[in-house]
Structure 1
Amino acid sequence: MANGDPTAPPGGSSSEPSPGSAPAPPQQTDQQEQEGQHGNDTQPVIPNALPTNANGNAGADADQQVWEDIEGEGDEFELDGEEHDGEDSESEDFFQDPMDPAWKPCPRPGQLGCPHYERKCKIVAPCCGELFWCRHCHNAEKNENEEEPSKAHEIDRKSVTRIVCQLCHTEQDVGAECTNCGERFALYFCGICKFWDNRGDIKKIFHCKDCGICRVGGAENFFHCKTCGSCYPRQLENHTCIERAMHQDCPICLENLFESIRSVAVLQCGHTIHQECLRGMTREFVGLSSLRCPVCSASICKTEQLWAAMDRQVEETPMPADLQYEVSIICNDCHKRGSCAFHIYGHKCPECGSYNTRRTQTAEGVRGGG
């Protein structure tokens, strides 16, 4: 079995999708903050469809159609907004993709700004005293591309107090318009986050007091989950809550999700992970391993159709007499213990019907992993 996953059956054509094959990838809406923080334009996504494994193969056309049908049922959402650490709507990772064609090019012809935001002023970085269009521009030069590790640093957005108008080049305190020429720096300005974006009306930027940052997508479309510590789209009001779920590190790359500028997915179990890391995980793993949360091992999406397909495959593939015995299992979804008949395709939980189980031992004692 590839990767040692005893629950993944061999591939091949059949009337049902092979459990060892890769499920189809969940549809997603990239979340990004306006200034590049998961809290700005970024919004959490809940993958409700099965992920794809690049190494897997659905087999026959009928098998592929089952995966496509499952994928089509996935409802995923993104939260637009600003960064989670409480600045302007400078994050487009959580709800809308900053590279969205509707927002490009940035800046638009005849407008001032950077690839992140459209504005008419530059911030004076309090850490190094240099001018930058936005904090993302600063961090890219002073942290990501800094050749001397000892000099690498990121800007503290809340400490920004001075800006420079790019029309008359007057340095001044943070504000919505220039104190010298009177030009408004952008259509949207947040004095709390010290954030400007001339596309604020298009992105529907709003400031969330609880998150402490600006977000995109319209305040009427979101609610703040105090347990998870983040704004979620109203479609997710019945999500599984986990204490400060959006303030954890990604279980794959270990980057802090609240500070991240990349899209974040909210799994069915409530745990969070970068959407990009989730895709990579489902492509690199095979069988049921690609469907498990890297934190708690629960199924990452709705799997009813997959379990039904596995039921039929198990029924159509009887085990020989020497392999007909009971095994003890623990379910990763309902966390109940039980026993079931051994099968090479997987072991079904007698409580909830999930095949996302861990094998412990047989009635005769330990007979291998699972």
Structure 2
Amino acid sequence: MKTIPEIENFGCTHYRRRCKIVAPCCNEVYGCRHCHNEAKVICSLCDTEQDVQQYCINCGVCMGEYFCGTCKFFDDDISKQQYHCDECGICRTGGKDNFFHCKRCGEYSCPVCSKSICDMSSVWKKLDQVISSTPMPESYKNKKVWILCNDCGVNSHVQFHIVAHKCLSCNSYNTRQLQGIPSSSSMSSRVTEMVN
């Protein structure tokens, strides 16, 4: 086996490797099968191979009522209300007006950061019910964990539960479990933030 010096930029956006493929349908060279699929489609009516586009260059048929040139995605079932989300970089379903991409946390349709869904009390009540109806095994009944509330910034020492952990300060379930015991300086800085 011959040793090849390490050279950057081998392969394509999908794979790092030092080879290419010859597509059997068109005999053209591509970095991989995904590169080929992003560049070429074949019309199901007239079998014409062509660049990715919504309408066939030969017979003119619409190859998909919904078409996204970015994702190379076709679908005739537009009842799904497909649209391309630029922030996520993919096509989604459910209609652009029903969802948003949260700039603060990076999550798609974040229920906590959404200004239009800022009152989460009904969601927290449902979680209260789920937690009360989901008893923990005996070995976990006395287990406590430290959590940080993403809403008010307070650390709390709470009863462990597999479903969620409720903030003792603001009653939010928008919390995350901390590893170990939070330092007193981090706890006092949180209190200072709340007072200010």
| TM-score of the pair, normalised by structure 1 | 0.26
Higher relative contact order (CA 8 A, sep 6+): 1
Q: Larger C-alpha radius of gyration, 1 or 2?
A: 2
| TM-score of the pair, normalised by structure 2 | 0.46
